[in-house]
Amino acid sequence: MRNAILVDYDVSDDWEYKVGIEAVTGENWELWKCITHRLQSSKIKVLIRYAITFLFAFNVFIYRNKYKRIIAWQQFYGLALAFFCKFFHVKKYPEIYIMTFIFKKDKNKLFSKFVKYSVDPKYIKRLIVLSDSEKEFYSKNLGIDESIFHCTRIGVKDETKTIKQVNTSKYYLAVGRSNRDYRFLRNAWKKEYGKLIIINDSYKEEKKDGIISLKKCYGCDYLQMVANCYAEIIPLKDKNIASGSLSFLQAMMFSKPVIVSNNITVRDYIVSGYNGLIIENDNRELENALTKLEDPMIYQEIAANARKEYETKYSELILGKDIGRMILS
């Protein structure tokens, strides 16, 4: 029997997350890749992404009997696979593990029904979340027992050997798509704060002095923007939804201070004033955080602590080993 990881972007065979899992489980893991992470900027692209997702998952479903365990790095691949297993009432299926599970009640009732239908403990072995509080939250929302959830901390690849900071004009950076409150950030931003660059391929640009919006910035170009920025700002919207961790961990990897909205996950990663700054979505709190980062001593201390926290806790290798131990437990 074989094992597989379903991923939505290109990774190498020596991917540290995979290496960590293999080191703990003592088994080989194949990579099934379906590159869909850029299909987000329009409704047509989103529909295409859903179509590709279901076709990809159905292909995995056809070969399911050859696999003992399947991890969905992209959660929708795992949900779609579980959907097919349940819909066709199959008796033989692999253990399905779904990484970084996120669910919020959506205006799209059909999509919400799909998630609730697919999240069946009979077919899904574990739903992996990023904070302990999410277990209770999702358990109540989905009507399933908390025992299906496993809490871990996300890990990101260390890119500092290949992506180096280049001296540019000073700018703050806001990135990410899920659960972002760019309206708050735009309205709170003042020209005297300097330049703010927002990277989001689905953000509806509202022009304002001091703010630049980039819709197409991926891969190495995106990481270079993070490496060159002065600091990163992650304005989160819903306090009950885990999000933003990948973005602010990438900033911490590059020794960049982060200003991030308070929610149920943030404090699992950031101690405000130590390795980042946590704020409520309030104009005054944002201004106070920006003022603190203008102090060179505070800035350097937070930047150094951010990198130290990343190195000791949040690498992809550490994440892979944690998932490997969960599988064997």
- For 255-303, the pLDDT digits (tens) are 999 999 998 889 889 999 999 999 999 999 999 999 999 999 999 999 9
In the predicted model, what is the mean pLDDT of residues 7-18?
A: 93
Contact 2, 67 (CB under 8 A): yes
Q: How far apart are CA 320 and CA 18, in angstroms?
A: 6
Q: What is the pTM of this model?
A: 0.80
Confidence check: pLDDT of 242 > 80: no
Tell me the average pLDDT of the chain: 92
pLDDT given for residue 41 in this prediction: 59
Confidence check: pLDDT of 175 > 90: yes
Could you give all domains of the chain from N- to C-terminal order, each with its CATH number?
2-155+316-328 (3.40.50.2000), 171-313 (3.40.50.2000)
Q: How far apart are CA 123 and CA 119, in angstroms?
A: 8
A 10 A CB-CB count for 31 gives 15
Closest CA to 35 of 65, 62, 6, 64: 6
Q: How far apart are CA 245 and CA 236, in angstroms?
A: 11
Confidence check: pLDDT of 107 > 60: no
pLDDT given for residue 200 in this prediction: 87
Confidence of residue 45 (pLDDT cuts 50, 70, 90): confident
Task: Answer with the residue of higher pLDDT: 211 or 240.
Answer: 211
Closest CA to 182 of 152, 150, 204, 154: 204
Query: Which tokens in the block code for residue 83?
Result: 């959907």
pLDDT given for residue 115 in this prediction: 93
Confidence check: pLDDT of 81 > 90: yes
pLDDT given for residue 316 in this prediction: 93
Confidence check: pLDDT of 77 > 60: yes
Confidence of residue 75 (pLDDT cuts 50, 70, 90): very high
Confidence check: pLDDT of 244 > 90: no
Task: Answer with the residue of higher pLDDT: 22 or 203.
Answer: 22
Q: pLDDT digit string (tens) for 130-147?
A: 887 788 889 988 999 999
Express as a percent the part of the chain with pLDDT over 90: 74
